[in-house]
Amino acid sequence: MHGSQRVSSKVTEKTKQHPIIKINYLPRIIAAKFMLLICGLKLGWDVLQVQYLWLFVLGILYPHITYWLAAKSRDGKRQEHMNMNFDAFLTGMTVSILPDYYFLSTATIVLIANALYIGAFRLLLKNMLAYATALVFAMVYVWPFAGFVQTDWPVKIVNTLFILIHFGTFAILSYYLTRRMIALTKEVQSLSITDPLTGAYNRRYLDANLSKEIHRSQRLNYPITVIFTDLDHFKSVNDEYGHQLGDKVLADFVSIARKCIREDVDWIARFGGEEFIAVLPNADADYGALIAERIRQEVSEHLFEFEDKQVSISSSFGVVAIDNNDHNASAECVIASAEKLIATADDGLYKAKEKGRNRVEVVNLHPQESI
């Protein structure tokens, strides 16, 4: 394997670290510290005897060892599930030292909640089996069970703090995970409706939302305008200057167009190639022509640049508006209106091309033609 391949493999493995590894890390540290503290309160100075030294390993080193094992594993999720089984077994061993109802119930609740939070019922069964095995083993062979001891108030208080802090930590982690999930969902949704090159909406968004805009205009009885625009001789820009400059032209064009339309009201979608459609709700043909002319002028005066290459380009526009007075239009009529509106605007664009390009052509569409 080549050096670059080895580096790539290591990076890939690192990025595949399962999220439950980090989710469990801080709660495991908290649990280990509290268990060491509770055992110290119950045993007193006896906790320093050789037979209890493993408690210090559990309280100080164990969380970091399990994190390291899971982080280095090729299957982090599987290793973390094994770590949780170890957690359950060691918890059972710890609880069996001078067992009392408070510590037993606290440890059991924490284990059940943690297993359900991370891996649902299948992991819960495995954890409970490990927990029960440790309890039986320790109470029979290690520290023979002689009944439950009385729980002192300091132990009760620490148990209560343990539950509050442990579940509070999980609540905070859940909050931030939920926020992150919402942000990622919004990002995915945005990527699914956005053209990655220009930042304009894509054809999918146009097809889904133009019909909705028309339906809204029919329901509220206001006009809607569509502008169909195309960059003149764009193919020659790609052929002569390269696709990188061509891509820059498309991105800059959308940026210019956005500055000329109403923010949060009008929107632009990439229809395909160098063709774009601007949708202007509650705008008549005169306003649409004014916006199209503004964009045309801004584009014609703009110098598009990429590295040491520069180019000027013009654009042509077809503008069409529709007023809907039929409030009883069916869903099929709405779809037909969207298709007719785009086709008519395209006719206007074709006329602008025929008349020499770098111009705006307004075409009329009557309500009855849109149905």
Sign of CA dihedral 151, 153, 154, 160: positive
The whole-angstrom separation of Cα 114 and Cα 25 is 12
Distance of CA 173 to the CA centre of its chain: 16
The dihedral formed by the CA atoms of 194, 195, 198 and 201, expressed in degrees to the nearest 10: -50
Phi, psi of 104 (to 5 degrees): -60, -45
Which own/partner pairs from 2-10 qualify as long-range (CB within 8 Å, at least 24 positions apart)? none
| DSSP count for the chain of H helices, then E strands | 12, 7
The single residue of 274, 293, 301, 332 carrying the catalytic annotation is 274
**Beta carbons of 276 and 200 less than 8 angstroms apart:** yes
- The set of long-range contacts for 48-56, using a CB threshold of 8 Å and a minimum separation of 24, is 52/97, 55/94
Helices (H), 18-100: 19-43, 54-56, 62-72, 76-95
* 274 carries an active-site annotation: yes
- In angstroms, rounded to a whole number, what is the distance separating the alpha carbons of residues 277 and 227? 6
Q: How many whole angstroms from its chain centre is CA 73? A: 26
The set of catalytic residues is 274
